Amino acid sequence: MELYPLKVFLAVVTEKSFSRAASKMFRTQPAISLAVQRLEAELGEKLIDRSAAPPILTDAGRIVVDYARRFENLESELHNSLTELRDNSAGRLVIGANESTSLYLLQHIEQYRRTYPK
């Protein structure tokens, strides 16, 4: 399963309109409809009742929305973690020192922890 159809589905749910979702995602309305139809086919469930205006989620659609939001949050967390790793603002620092050196290092370690809390 790819994340794009879930993002499209969330946009339709958030915007309460296929047309507004298309505008938000810089796609055509037919492309948005097709992405949702493919997601429904992949999952084997109707997610949206299109006969109503605005479109209404089915029971399956409500379940998928919850999972789609989790996927979206996890994707965001993943990108944030990788950015922190690349920027060296998060990670692990290991220092080996004898007893007398460790007393000297304490003040510097405190400053380091304030500067780099992660």
Which pLDDT belongs to residue 91?
A: 64
Distance CA 74, CA 37 (A): 24
More confident residue, 93 or 13: 13
Q: What is the mean pLDDT of residues 16-21?
A: 96
Distance CA 38, CA 79 (A): 26
pLDDT digits over 20-58, tens only? 999 999 999 999 999 999 999 999 999 999 998 889 999
What type of residue is 57? L
Distance CA 111, CA 51 (A): 62
Using 50, 70 and 90 to split pLDDT, how confident is the model at 90? low
Helices within the chain (DSSP H only): 3-15, 18-24, 29-43, 59-86, 99-115
Distance CA 34, CA 37 (A): 5
CATH fold group of domain 3-87? Arc Repressor Mutant, subunit A (1.10.10)
Give the three-state DSSP class for 25: coil
Counting residues of the chain whose pLDDT is more than 90, the rounded percentage is 60
Which pLDDT belongs to residue 46?
A: 97
Distance CA 101, CA 1 (A): 53
Which pLDDT belongs to residue 8?
A: 97
Range(s) within the chain of domains with CATH label 1.10.10.10: 3-87
φ, ψ for residue 115 (rounded to 5)? -70, -40
